[in-house]
Amino acid sequence: MNAFQIALLLYAVVIAAGGIMGYVSAQSMVSLVNGLIAAVLLLVGLAISFKNPPAGFGLSAVVALALGVFFAYRFFTTGKWMPGGVTMILSAVAFVLMALAALRKP
């Protein structure tokens, strides 16, 4: 497992944990379901990255971008750093890492 794959695994775990925290703190079933769906998609990207790194990291970059855009919207409409601002920044970092991993030469 390389550094990009480790970063992707950690990002998936944090996204899943965020969905669970949203459910526990606000009884938000939408947060739980969407957080788990996003985490599963990221884990699928991780699995694909072992055989086809550009495809796996590309999928993960798309998911990170979608999450980043969603949480940027949430942050700029509510002004709250948690979860909007933190997840926006985390997703931006993950997007850059996944895009770099997808585009790098083997």
Contact indicator for 71, 91 with CB cutoff of 8 Å: yes
Q: Report DSSP letters for 80-102, one per residue.
A: -IIIIIHHHHHHHHHHHHHHHHH
Cα torsion 68, 74, 77, 79 to 10°: value is -90
pLDDT tens digits, one per residue of 51-71: 999 999 999 999 999 999 999
* Below-70 pLDDT ranges, the chain: none
List the one residue out of 4, 6, 11 whose CA is nearest residue 63.
11
Instruction: Look up the pTM and report it.
Output: 0.95
Percent of the chain scored above 70 by pLDDT? 99
User: In this predicted structure, what is the pLDDT of residue 105?
Assistant: 84
